Amino acid sequence: MRPIALALALAASLNARVGAVADQPGLTALARARQAYNEGQYDTAIGAARRALELSEQAAAARLVLARALLERYRTTSEPQDLVEARDLLRKVELSRVPPAERYELMIGFGQWLYLTGRYGAAAELFDIALGSADAASAQTRDRLLDWWASALDRQVQETGGDASELYGRVLDRMEDESRRNPSCASAGYWIAAAARGLGQLDRAWQAAMAAWVRTDFTAGRAAALRADLDRLVLTAIIPDRARETAGGRGDQRQVADTMVTEWERFKTDWEPSPPAPSSQP
């Protein structure tokens, strides 16, 4: 239903360690690689991680950061060699040398490689494993990992003919649980609406999209991107499907859709904050 628009950030534990390790001898390159990755500066991250590889005690962590940075760069450049090198690096990471609290990142790397090579079902399995072992991750990292997982299942349906009822049912169940646990989870709000639409629950999808729109106020820096995704989902998927179902065999499907678009736009306008009252001062 949509491509993943945001890069999956490294865990909060890595972010927290950047400042602490930056001044320690021999760790500066790795710290700089992590920091650059988190800032989306993938070329810088790749260069710093390559330097960190020269230090044997940091090799496992450096390979992981380098592989993840190469995968992210591949998403923008489509350079095949980045994908090949990332695969080789991930295979060389020794799990025993990765701290338990960070091992889910290795699963994310494997999952990203599978996703980017079109193995969506397999990618979803690894993202699912990562979700089960990422309890210490930041809420933002978990949110984006949920987005990868649901997007992988969605692509499995769209491109490989997966069982829509079973796969969208899994997405809906998990996102409902995540939403109850964390109302600010941006991915949950979007995917409840998207999965309901995928299951043919069009009225539920319509109502869930409005609820998700209201909840975007809880998502801080992701509000604008989430609203753009929701708007696209409603206008290009939910409304056409609802209009088709509502119109049935009659020829007024376009008119029904136009009415729904008007209703959606009115809803968005109604939710906008009121302008400040004019000052009464002379």
Range of the domain at 193: 186-270
Q: Is 203 contained in some domain? A: yes
- What tens-digit pLDDT sequence spans the chain (282 residues)? 554 443 344 333 343 343 333 444 444 788 999 999 988 999 999 999 999 998 777 888 899 999 999 999 999 999 999 999 999 999 999 888 877 777 888 999 999 999 999 999 999 999 999 988 766 567 778 888 999 999 999 999 999 887 999 999 999 999 999 999 988 888 899 999 999 999 999 999 999 999 999 998 887 678 888 999 999 999 999 999 999 999 876 768 999 999 999 999 999 999 988 766 666 555
> How far apart are alpha carbons 88 and 158 in whole angstroms?
29
| 32-50 residues labelled b (16+ CB within 10 A) or e (exposed) | bbbbbbbeebbebbbbbbe
Q: What is the pLDDT of residue 228?
A: 95
Q: What is the pLDDT of residue 137?
A: 67
Q: Is 244 contained in some domain? A: yes
Q: What length is written for the chain?
A: 282
How many domains does the chain fold into? 1
Q: Is 279 contained in some domain? A: no
Q: What is the pLDDT of residue 210?
A: 97
Q: Is 69 contained in some domain? A: no
Q: CB neighbours of 260 closer than 8 A, spacing ≥ 6?
A: 239, 242, 243
Q: Is 260 contained in some domain? A: yes
Q: Is 53 contained in some domain? A: no
Q: Is 255 contained in some domain? A: yes
Q: Is 60 contained in some domain? A: no
CA diameter of the chain = 74
DSSP state of 278: P
